[in-house]
Amino acid sequence: MSKITSLQIRLASADKLKLVLATVALSVCFTAHAQGKDNSPAQKTRALSRAEVIADLALWRRAGVDRYAMSMSYGVETEAYQAAYQEYLRLRNSEEFQMEVQKFLDK
pLDDT of residue 68: 78
Query: Side-chain half-sphere of 86: how many Cα atoms within 13 Å?
Result: 7
Of 60, 52, 65, 61, residue with least CA distance to 99: 52
Per-residue pLDDT of the chain (107 residues; tens, 9 = 90+): 556 666 666 656 655 655 544 555 555 544 444 445 444 444 457 888 999 999 999 999 999 988 877 665 665 678 888 899 999 999 999 999 999 999 989 98
Dihedral sign, Cα of residue 38, residue 91, residue 59, residue 86: negative
Q: What is the pTM for the complete model shown?
A: 0.53
